[in-house]
Structures are given as C-alpha cells and as structure tokens.
Structure 1
Amino acid sequence: MNTKRFIALAGALAATLALPIGGSAKASEFLAAQSQGGAAHAKLVLRIEGLPSSDGQLLIGLYDAEDGYKTDQELIGKTVKVDDTVVEVVFDNLLVGRYAFKVFHDENSDGELNTNFMGIPSESYGFSNNASDPFSAPEWKETRFSLPRGRMTQTIDLS
C-alpha cells in the first residue's frame, strides 16, 4: 500500500475512533476542531438568580465526569463574593463536552452548607438544570448538560 495513502487512512480512522461516545459533542464540530489542530473550546456563563440576600459568597463546583460529581472532586471550584441577588460567573476555555455544577449560597461565609437540627440545609443551594430531589442531591444524569462550542448561559434559580 502507498505510504501516503496509509497515513491518510490511519489519520481518518484515528479521528473517527476519537469521536466522543454518547454525542457529547457534534461529530462535525469535533472533526472541524481536529482539522484546525486543536480541541473545540467554549465559554460557560452561570447566571445565579433568586439569592435571598447579597451577603456572603457562592461556592460553585463544576464537574466533567460522574465520578467527580459523586465524590465532590470538581474540575473547577470557584468562590465568588455575592454583591447582589443575581450573580454571573464565567468559566472560560472549557472543552466542548458534558458538565454539571453544584452551587450554594454561603451567606455567613463559613465555607460550609449549614443545616438545621434535622439536617435540612438552611442556606440556598442548587444544581445545573435546576434539578432537585426532595431527599438527596440529584444524580449526574439529571444535572449534566452538553456544552457546545462558543458561549452558553445556564441559569439557576436558588429561590
């Protein structure tokens, strides 16, 4: 077989095999990014609404895998001072893919999600997709979302 043809076929096969399983990125976007010599990147804007006060801070965990989500090993963790009842937080230069986030309003800035005597959180919290479960944290499959190339805004309401 001709060496140049073999290299071209091997490259095409490698690009095809590297496509994400489950469609976390569109095949055309992935191939376009590969042909440009790099991965597709995106910006995620997290808009947090319904904060009960402008006190304290937000603690945000961004996750790119179910295992990290379950064990609280975030891809990126951010602490953001709250100065209004609506806050926007930007995550730049993320790879196109699947993500989920957890956020809570640490009103007293003690770094913990405070609870009442029954163990029910007394500070506002939320998850991507505004997912909720009355008895525990929602699962990865309920909170994950696909981040496409470019810019995406996710809005969460903590009221």
Structure 2
Amino acid sequence: MSVLSSVSLLVGTCLLGAAAPAPRVSDNQPVTVVVTSLVSTTSTVKLFFYNTREGFLKSGKWVFSKSVKPGGKSEFTLPVELPKGEWAVAITQDLNNNGKIDKNFIGIPTEPYAFSNNFRPKVAAPVFDDCKFTVDGPGKVVSIVLKN
C-alpha cells in the first residue's frame, strides 16, 4: 500500500469518526433505597418500581423489580439507577418463601408490605400519587419502613 493510500485511508477514517454521533449520555440518576424494620432477617424482600399511575400495583406493570436477601440483617440499602421523573416503590416480604404475597380471603396481604413515602393504606390500596417521589438529580434517598 502506498503512502498516499495510507494517508487517504487514515483521513477518511478520522472524518467518519468525526461525523458519528457522540454516545448518548444516560439520563439515569443514582437513587438509594433504604429499607428498615424487616420482619424477617432471612426471607426475600421484593421491590417493584413503577413510573405510571395506570400501571401502579398492577401485576406485571412495574418497570423493573429487584429481590433482596437480607442476609441476617433487619435492614438493607439498595442502590438503583432511575431515569428522571416520578416514581413509586412497592415492597413485599415473602415470609414463607413461596414466591408470592399471601392474602386473606378478602385480598388483604397477610405478609409484610410497604410503599415509598411510607404510605400506610387504611381502607383501600394506595394510588400512585400517595407513594410517588421525584427523581430530578443524583443523591435521592428513599427510606421505607417495612411493617407487618
């Protein structure tokens, strides 16, 4: 290959690289979820993250979920990355490790559960606005107390 061909190839490659768009910077922000007062120090805790009113608390409508084994502790910290916007978290602890939240005959959970903003429903399930928090920058901490 001649020197001129090599230079042309090198210049062409540089120009193509300059024309390529820069990689998109993620809009995700670091959020720390702190869960305390676990009923069991061994049973799995499931966290469900929602970002729409319509899908809140509907099976399979969460954006993502995480399972955490407490490892003998009554609290844990879970770092997550969330896009900016409004979010809500629902938490359950599967005391008998059967992979689901057990309920009584009228549909009320018999295993521990909690929601962001530590919202405690009295008569009906909460709505998104009861539990929502805003992610608008780094450093957001969401503290949730899990009660039976």
Common fold: TM-score over 0.5: yes
Aligned length: 123
Give identity over the alignment, percent: 24
Deviation sequence 1:90-142 (CA, Å, 0-9, x none): 212x2111100100111221111113455432211001101122122211111
2:54 is paired with a residue whose SS is helix
Instruction: Report if the CA contact (8 A) 2:41-2:70 is conserved.
Output: yes
Specify the structure having the higher radius of gyration (Cα).
Answer: 2
2:55 is paired with a residue whose SS is helix
TM-score, scaled relative to structure 1: 0.69
Number of the residue aligned with 1:43: 30
Number of the residue aligned with 1:137: 125
Instruction: Report if the CA contact (8 A) 1:55-1:108 is conserved.
Output: no
Give the aligned CA root-mean-square deviation in angstroms.
Answer: 2.0
TM-score, scaled relative to structure 2: 0.74
The yes-or-no answer on 1:67 pairing with 2:54 is yes
Number of the residue aligned with 1:57: 44
The yes-or-no answer on 1:111 pairing with 2:89 is no
Q: Which residue identity lines up with residue 51 of structure 2 in the other structure?
A: D
Instruction: Report if the CA contact (8 A) 1:40-1:149 is conserved.
Output: no
* From 138, 142, 145, the counterpart of 1:154: 142
Query: Gapped runs of 5+ residues in structure 1?
Result: 1-36
Runs of 4+ in structure 1 deviating by more than 3 angstroms, as ranges, are 37-40, 116-120
